[in-house]
Amino acid sequence: MVCEIADAVSAISAAPDSKACSRLFVKAIAAFTINMFACGEVDLAALERSVFFAIAWPEAFRKLYFDSGLMRRDPILAALRQRHAPFTWSDLRREGRLTIAGSKALQVAAEHGWTEGLAVPIPRGDQRFGLVTLAGPRRALEADERSRLTMLAYCFYQRMRNLVPKHGFAFPPLGLTKREIDVLRLIARGATDRGVARKLGISPSTAHEHLENAKRKLNVSTRAEAIAIAVSLAIVVP
């Protein structure tokens, strides 16, 4: 198993694009009876600013999670306020820290067949975290399983963070359009509205409008804040 994990880490680290990286990760975690995962960046100060690099959820659960407000009741995200090291669903249950809403959220997951999970946070300063969540139809994870899955999750997160600016996110981050992302990336390189307009073949007023729309979606008031948030979420490469 150790050699298999090392081989998987090596392959994930060298994946040429996001889809290939996800396929390799799916194959690696399947050995642990894990069949669901999500990977991205979480901003606890503004959950609407969270983004997904990759997500392997059935469409019905994805719709439920985002459309019903389940994200705001997610016990994994709530636990990040106190926990910065990997933890399992069993840890949360055993310690009795689940709220009523959190318990119901895990029950919803169980109804979809996921009875145990592992969260691997990567602190990124302030209230921002890289995060890989894993789940499957199984009992509690053994210590060695947790360690190996954590290693795979760290590797997957780092590779995906490097790949998504070029190859795309699981779905458009924060509802940003491709044009808004293009504008943010040019502004991050020092372009003015006129410079953005020349590069994209649009008018300066349209370039400015795209930037203002992006700022609104990022929940910021200045260009500098917009770029800082976009960099932290891997929308813009520094």
Please state the rounded mean pLDDT for residues 120-147.
94
Please state the rounded mean pLDDT for residues 98-118.
92
Please state the rounded mean pLDDT for residues 126-149.
95
Region label for 234, one of left (φ > 0), alpha (ψ between -120 and 50) or beta (otherwise):
left
pLDDT at 102 over 80: yes
| Better-predicted residue by pLDDT, 1 or 106 | 106
Please, which pLDDT band fits residue 180 given cuts at 50, 70 and 90? very high
Q: Which domains does the chain have, with CATH numbers?
A: 2-167 (3.30.450.80), 176-232 (1.10.10.10)
Position 70 scores a pLDDT of: 83
pLDDT at 60 over 90: no
Q: Which tens digit of pLDDT belongs to each residue from 9-29?
A: 999 999 999 999 999 999 999
C-beta separation of 31 from 19 below 8 A: no
Mean pLDDT of the chain: 91
Please, which pLDDT band fits residue 171 given cuts at 50, 70 and 90? confident
Q: Which tens digit of pLDDT belongs to each residue from 35-46?
A: 999 999 998 988
pLDDT at 168 over 90: no
Position 1 scores a pLDDT of: 65
Please, which pLDDT band fits residue 122 given cuts at 50, 70 and 90? very high
pLDDT at 2 over 70: no
How far is residue 207's CA from residue 48's CA, in Å, rounded to a whole number?
A: 24
Nearest to 42 by CA among 156, 122, 143, 99: 122
Q: Which two tokens stand for residue 50?
A: 């969270």
* pTM of the entire predicted model: 0.88
**What residues have CB less than 8 Å from 134, skipping those under 6 apart?**
29, 34, 36, 37, 117, 118, 119, 120, 149, 153
pLDDT at 235 over 80: yes
Q: Exposed, middle or buried, 216 (CB in 10 Å: 0-12/13-18/19+)?
A: middle
How far is residue 238's CA from residue 136's CA, in Å, rounded to a whole number?
A: 36
